[in-house]
Amino acid sequence: MQGIRKEQHVVKNETAIRGFSLVELMIVIVIIGVLAGAAVPIYQHNLEVAKRAEAVAGIGTVRTQLRMYYGRYASYPIRDSFTKVIGDDWNDINKGELTGKYFQDKNFKYRSYDGIEYRIKCQKNRVLSHQVWIDETGRWWFDMDVLDDD
């Protein structure tokens, strides 16, 4: 009996064995870096906008309470310096109602020297770049701090 010899033909595909070259990997890394470089500032801006929106919503709640007070007493409650809104006798805002993802009740403060003009502010407290505040005319400020006593 003769031995049967099997011939094996192994065809090597060079591209299947070969990996990515260093140049190809560097191009991918540069592309990812450029995309990340563009995405981070956009994300930070959107985060700042979300924080401002939360501050504006909280200030709006305080402003509604002030309008109700003014409707009842024909003046705003007088506070010589900025005081916390929560726990003050002129409003019905309960503890925790102004607390959100970025701000707590203690960040919202109010003052009125004469009962005619007022300021409501949301302190930045390492959350915003500047304070957000409003006056009795409805004018909003986002880019400057309120000069106050504290």
pLDDT in tens, 121-132: 998 878 887 888
Instruction: Kindly list the domain boundaries of the chain, sorted by start residue.
Output: 19-141
Instruction: State pLDDT tens for residues 70-104.
Output: 999 999 999 999 999 998 888 889 999 999 999 99
Residue 144, SS3 per DSSP: coil
Question: Which is higher by pLDDT, 92 or 2?
Answer: 92
Asked whether the CA dihedral 84, 87, 93, 101 is positive or negative, the reply is positive
- The model carries a pTM of 0.73
Closest Cα partner for 74 from 112, 116, 118?
116
